[in-house]
Amino acid sequence: MTQRHGWLLVALSGITLVIMGALGAHALADRLDPERLNGWHTAVRYQAWHTLAAMVVLVWRERTPLPGQRAVLWLWGLGTLAFCGSIYALSLGAPALFGPVTPLGGLALIAGWAALAVMALRRPGAQ
């Protein structure tokens, strides 16, 4: 993934999270039961935090390219798509087969954070 592609994906994630947040706050607020609406808002929060975190890694990568940054970005990207995407779908009434996708996405998000921790420990000059 080039920096250009990374920034494009972060921008698309930012666009979709604002749209999803607005949908949850306005269009779906009266249509979804409280549990599904809460799930929707959880997905928006996770997407927002991981989009912001990816932006930080992209800036870091521009200044100090290190092995592992790309893996972190991929894991967070795939994790956000699977975790948040499946919650959005389930909130809208998608079939239960989307259910197992959510924890897999969560595992990818966790793996991204773990990869970041490994990078921090292996970083030259880290103390």
pLDDT tens per residue, range 35-88: 999 999 999 999 999 999 999 999 999 998 888 999 999 999 999 999 999 999
CA distance 127 to 107: 28
CA distance 59 to 62: 5
The model's pTM: 0.92
Segment 10-37, tens digit of pLDDT: 999 999 999 999 999 999 999 999 999 9
What the block records as the tokens of 43 is 């997905």
Average the pLDDT over each of 89-93, 110-114, 121-125 and give the range with the smallest value: 121-125
